[in-house]
Structure 1
Amino acid sequence: MDVNLESVLDGLVNVSTGFVHSDELVVSWNKRNFSKTMETLAGVFSDWVNANEFHFHCQGDGSASTFWDFKIWNELFPNESEVPRETHANLIHNIQPDAKIVVIFRNPTDRLYSDYYYINRGQNISPMMFHRCSIEAITIFNNCLQNHKLRTCAYSKKKNVSMRKKDVGLSLNDDEKTLSKCPNVRLNVGLYDVFTQDWLNVFPRDQLFFMTTEDWNSNCVEYLKRIYMFLGLDIQSDDDRRKVCQNEHANTGKKKPPMLDESRELLDEFYRPHMRILSNLLNHTKYSWNL
């Protein structure tokens, strides 16, 4: 059985860690490179074949970006002006149509803020800079929508580009009349509805397991049990699952200053319609985060 452990949030690592304790599952965690994951798993299986051994195992991939990152589409399809119908979901389905996908969503506004501090760690950043760059990112995205379909803009590899502050409605001081250079704000990653629809277009609903970070944090023991049942694996005891759930969260980064209220209002407004669509897709209001 092939299992694709997917996520659009940092909490994925903790779920993957939970499976490592099972004798039935092999998990390769490579958050940046799906192909590296496949190389790792191929090496494991090659060792078994060379040893003339048989193992009933699940293979799992924990590449967090596989769910949403298809920015190379215009390199694969250079003659297409809009993102093609085929994405990672089609690739995985063609290789393993019985794959099961576990997706964990986080409040998109919180995810963006956490992601901003994580991927730009070591740089001189601040909540005010995040707010300014969020405005720029939204402006760039909305400009994209004027010429392209939503899916194309969601999968676009175009990062934040330098923009004059006056173009995004920010006041100018005499010493600020230069192009701003914003650290990357991955606004598109929070468009869960777009990516979820693409995966649902390819895989049957019963091969995808969706949950939120709130689910995991509030009732980890129960949700770990549900995931094991979803994967068809033997269920660990409550005590064993409780030990897994006590593991420290990974990819949490350093403590961040609080987000500005105006940033949260701005981003909640941007994501609100997308989360409503996601709630309808998955038939549960928890995926709207009351935005």
Structure 2
Amino acid sequence: MKRNNGTPNEFHQSVVIAIQQMRRCLLNRTLRSCVYDSEVNPEEYQPVNRIGSVFLRASIYYVYIADWLEVFPRDQFLVIRAEDYYNNRSGVLADVYQFLGLRHVGPKLFRINNKSVVNRGMQHNKVMSRETRIMLTDFFKPYNIKLAELLRDKRFLWNTRV
């Protein structure tokens, strides 16, 4: 939205349309089918305003991770929330190195940590209305509950104040 100089109202309109499309799909198809099939909602690729479309399907992480876990053992995955990385890069990178069985990289880690994080400073309440945030929170809630259960980690509930 920021890239296209959109307004919170335009973003809200895009979110409303995306949620309607997904709900319409779910009336006749499974969640997995709706999430994976880009032909289900071809309007998704047609800009509804200068903001463009909102891709809800890509943010229903539960479906994708559940599919991966059907094929590979759970201990082969380290799922990291972006906000955890933004808030504690050193700690998260140390976890990644340990998970991969790599040695600590010392000075290189310092250079990585001093790089700016592109999305970190975004103030969501400045680019999205409270109403939009509530709508998205409500839409994603059942999928986030499943994700938190699947990963056995309540942080994936994304319980934030609205």
1:129 aligns with 2:10: yes
1:143 aligns with 2:12: no
Superposition misfits of 4+ residues, deviation over 6 angstroms: 251-256
Larger Rg: 1
Code of the residue aligned with 1:128 in structure 2: it is N
1:246 aligns with 2:127: no
Q: Contact 2:97 / 2:103 at 8 angstroms: preserved in 1?
A: yes
Q: Contact 2:44 / 2:54 at 8 angstroms: preserved in 1?
A: no
Identity %: 32
Which structure 2 residue ranges, 5 or more long, are not aligned?
none
Q: 1:218 deviation in Å?
A: 2.6
SS in 1 for 2:115: coil
Q: 1:255 deviation in Å?
A: 8.2
Q: 1:212 aligns with which of 81, 98, 109?
A: 81
Q: Contact 1:193 / 1:278 at 8 angstroms: preserved in 2?
A: yes
SS in 2 for 1:211: coil
1:225 aligns with 2:108: no
Higher normalized contact order (CA 8 Å, seq sep 6+, divided by chain length): 2
Q: 1:243 deviation in Å?
A: 2.6
Q: 1:285 aligns with which of 151, 154, 158?
A: 154
Higher fraction of strand: 1
Q: 1:133 deviation in Å?
A: 1.4
CA separation of 1:253/1:181 partners in 2, compared to 1, >3 Å: closer, same or farther? farther
The count of corresponding residues between Structure 1 and Structure 2 is 154
- State the distance in 2 between where 1:219 and 1:253 align: 14
**Equivalence for 1:6:** none
1:184 aligns with 2:67: no
Q: 1:155 aligns with which of 21, 24, 36?
A: 36
Q: TM-score, normalised by structure 1?
A: 0.48
Q: 1:252 deviation in Å?
A: 7.3
- State the distance in 2 between where 1:210 and 1:160 align: 31
Q: Contact 2:144 / 2:156 at 8 angstroms: preserved in 1?
A: yes
1:263 aligns with 2:144: no
Which structure 1 residue ranges, 5 or more long, are not aligned?
1-116, 163-179
Higher fraction of helix: 2
